[in-house]
Chain A
Amino acid sequence: IAGITQAPTSQILAAGRRMTLRCTQDMRHNAMYWYRQDLGLGLRLIHYSNTAGTTGKGEVPDGYSVSRANTDDFPLTLASAVPSQTSVYFCASKVGQNTGELFFGEGSRLTVL
C-alpha cells in the first residue's frame, strides 16, 4: 500500500542519547516535512525539504537535524535528546511545494526520560 512509513512507532529514550526517526514514502512526492504534536500546541514544523538534496528550518528546529539524500527518505535526528523533546512526531509529504494536500505518516511517539 502506497504511503508514508515511520519507524519506530514508539520509543523510550534516556536523555543525552542520540535518536533517529525514520520516514520513507513511496509516492514519489518531492516535498517532505517533520512536525511535532504537543497537547495544546497543535502541529509545529521542525524541518522540511522541498526536493531531494535540499532542507530548511521550520518553526522549532533547535535540537533536530534532517537529511534528504534521495526522494523517498527523510530521517529526523535528535543529536542529544532532552525531556522537552518528548512528543509525537509526524512525517508528511506532498507532491510539490505549490500543491495542497499533506499526507501524514502514522506518527512516532517519543518519550525522553
Chain B
Amino acid sequence: GENVEQHPSTLSVQEGDSAVIKCTYSDSASNYFPWYKQELGKRPQLIIDIRSNVGEKKDQRIAVTLNKTAKHFSLHITETQPEDSAVYFCAATITGTASKLTFGTGTRLQVTL
C-alpha cells in the first residue's frame, strides 16, 4: 500500500518568515495530494490540494508543489502569522478506485512573534 513520509516533525519560524513542509510518497499511481490543518483540540480541515496533472497550486499565502518524478510534494506558507500555528498533515491517494487517504505523520508548526 501507499506510504507517506513527512518532514520535519516540528518547525518553528518567526512571524513573517516562510515555512516549508515536505512529503514523499511511495505509490507512483497516487494522483491526489491534499493538505490538512489541525488546530489544537480541533478537527483536521482541508486547506489545499493538488492533482497529478499540475505541478503547482496557490491559494493566497499557501502553495503546494508536486514533483511526480521524484514522488514528493511540498507545502509552502509565506508571510506566516500566529494563526498559522497548527499541525499540518499531507496525504496521498489514488482517485477512481476505492480511494483511502494515507496520511503523513504530521508537522507541528509554531509561528513565534
Contact = CB atoms under 8 A, between A and B. Distances in A.
B9 A102 contact: no
A106 B101 CA distance: 18
B interface: dominant SS: loop
> Which of the four size classes fits the interface of chain B?
20 to 34
Nearest to A90: B43
B102 to A, nearest CB: 8
Nearest to A104: B43
A16 interface: no
Contacts of A107: 43
Interface string A86-109: 000010000001111110111100
A101 B44 CA distance: 11
6 contacts: A43-B44, A43-B103, A97-B98, A100-B49, A102-B34, A104-B43
Interface of B: 1, 6, 9, 32, 34, 36, 42-46, 49, 89, 95-106
Given A40-B9, A45-B100, 11 more contacts: A42-B89, A44-B103, A45-B101, A48-B98, A48-B100, A58-B100, A59-B102, A97-B98, A102-B44, A102-B46, A106-B42
